[in-house]
Structure 1
Amino acid sequence: MKEFLEKTAWPMNPPVPYSLFHILFVAIGLITVVLLAYYTNRSINNRKLPLLLFFCGVVLAATEVWKQLFLYYVVNEQTYNWWYFPFQLCSLPMYFCLIIPFTPGKSNKTILCTFMQDFNLLGGIMALAEPSGLFHPYWFLTLHGLIWHLLLIYIALVIAFSRYSDVSLKGFARTLPLFLICCIIASIINRTAKPLGQADMFYISPYYPSAQIVFHEIALQYGIPAGNGVYLIATCFGGFLFHSIFNRVHLRSDRTVL
């Protein structure tokens, strides 16, 4: 296993954020996923959407397994680094896409899709806009991070274009308990992993200032709980902002049809 993984360890000089590589890759990637999401929506019906999302989940899970093995065997010399445990906000689509075909009830499927439409579109865009955590001294590791977040945007847009989400205010409110549950799980992981290593799931560790810009400074100045609280509020506001945009787009589309 280690020998195979070492063959994929193609070294590179980590790109600089907002370098030509970063700007071109993101620009071409965004155009590609928007067009792909648009044409995907035209070619499949809503009954096939859960299967498409499941396939996306399989792709995410397979690449995440490679990433975890690569980090363990090649980067960290067979020591597990809890910083990379896959339970960040941008990791959730991997789990949700895998379970959505088996989720009972259309209402529950709609909640999962609305969550991915709002919060993971936010996470994908923000990670690509501030990509310092995505750039590594290995080609495949860097490409994994960039393509992963482009795929999150694709998933969110496919859901939005297909109208499989609930863009009403009530639809967004119904995603908040799910967000809270995920925050609780992230907090449990952060506390449980403390004796084993540094874990910062959802960037709300009670032990370290947030790794996110702006919120890191808030944590340093006003304390970690304040930084984490402001970060979670800002995340909910960002998700609501995208939700409101899709709400307006759907309303205008409905008026045009009428």
Structure 2
Amino acid sequence: MTGRSSFIETYFPGLSDRIFFLCGVLMLGSEVWKQCLLTFVLGHGTYNWWYFPFQLCSIPMYVLLAYPWLRRESTRRMLLAFLISYCLLGGVAVFADTSGLNYPLPSLTVHSWTWHILLLLIGLSAGIVYSRRLDADAKNIIFSRTLSHSLPLRPFFHATLLYLCCCLAAEVFNLSLDRFGLINMFYINPHLQMQQVVFRDLVPIIGNLPAILIYIAATCLGAFLFFLIWNLIFRLMFRK
């Protein structure tokens, strides 16, 4: 009992740790179910690499699963910054073109819509947790007001590095697995024409690779705008 209590106190001390991890487990379970349907029902036993679970909207699942085990404060703040910016962006942007949410099986369509709505809820919940951490720091750290104003963007920069690392991993998947079938992780496979709305219109003008690079830069910019909005909210909430 003591060991169990110590384990919970170490890795799940707060309600947010438990909720985030539970969401991650539920998302993982639903993803396994989705992959089984895609492979054995729609694919008749053949795996479809197009649905390999490594898109921007998939990364929050891995973040939530890792969150309780990473106890370093800067790392946890980076993950929260990722959720309140890139996770929210992934949840919002998909509604600009909902064609990718529809599947031949109604159950998969419901799953896809539910997943992206959950991304919005996770991003908002992470924002609440993040704001409470900032408020706690303001009370516990000497000169914290100066620090919070001079270093407000560091968590976002770290989150952006995480995003760019995911882009690099996605490109490795794209280039190494495309011989097995169509794959377009993060929609940045240089062997396939850009498909994202707005950016696909740039391809005839500037070419496919520049359109991909602009898409990545625009994603970072969009996430940055979300992060700035959150910071504005935080300062209004905790302004003394």
> Runs of at least 4 residues of structure 1 off by over 3 A?
164-167
Is the 2:171–2:189 Cα contact (8 Å) retained in structure 1?
Answer: yes
Is the 1:189–1:201 Cα contact (8 Å) retained in structure 2?
Answer: yes
2:150 pairs with 1:183: no
- TM-score using structure 1 length: 0.78
2:104 pairs with 1:120: no
Partner of 2:222: 238
| Structure 1 Cα separation of the partners of residues 13 and 200 of structure 2 | 41
Partner of 2:156: 172
Structure 1 residues 62 and 206 mapped into 2: Cα distance closer, same or farther (>3 Å)?
A: same
2:192 pairs with 1:208: yes
2:36 pairs with 1:69: yes
| Structure 2 Cα separation of the partners of residues 51 and 159 of structure 1 | 13
| Structure 1 Cα separation of the partners of residues 221 and 181 of structure 2 | 31
| Structure 2 Cα separation of the partners of residues 68 and 164 of structure 1 | 37
2:66 pairs with 1:99: yes
| Structure 1 Cα separation of the partners of residues 90 and 200 of structure 2 | 17
- TM-score using structure 2 length: 0.84
| Structure 2 Cα separation of the partners of residues 128 and 64 of structure 1 | 20
| Structure 2 Cα separation of the partners of residues 203 and 109 of structure 1 | 27
| Structure 1 Cα separation of the partners of residues 126 and 91 of structure 2 | 15
Which structure 1 segments of 5+ residues have no match? 1-44
Is the 1:54–1:97 Cα contact (8 Å) retained in structure 2?
Answer: yes
DSSP 3-state at the match of 1:198: coil
Instruction: Tell me the CA shift for residue 52 of structure 1.
Output: 0.9
Instruction: Tell me the CA shift for residue 174 of structure 1.
Output: 1.8
Partner of 1:110: 77
Instruction: Tell me the CA shift for residue 220 of structure 1.
Output: 3.7
Q: CA deviation digits over 1:186-206, x for unaligned, max 9?
A: 000000111101111011001
Q: Give the count of matched residue pairs.
A: 212
Residue of 183, 188, 193 corresponding to 1:199: 183
| Structure 2 Cα separation of the partners of residues 170 and 72 of structure 1 | 41
Instruction: Tell me the CA shift for residue 144 of structure 1.
Output: 0.5
Is the 1:160–1:246 Cα contact (8 Å) retained in structure 2?
Answer: yes
| Structure 1 Cα separation of the partners of residues 133 and 237 of structure 2 | 15
Sequence identity, in percent?
37
| Structure 2 Cα separation of the partners of residues 251 and 136 of structure 1 | 42
Residue of 186, 197, 209 corresponding to 1:225: 209
| Structure 2 Cα separation of the partners of residues 195 and 248 of structure 1 | 46
| Structure 1 Cα separation of the partners of residues 86 and 122 of structure 2 | 11
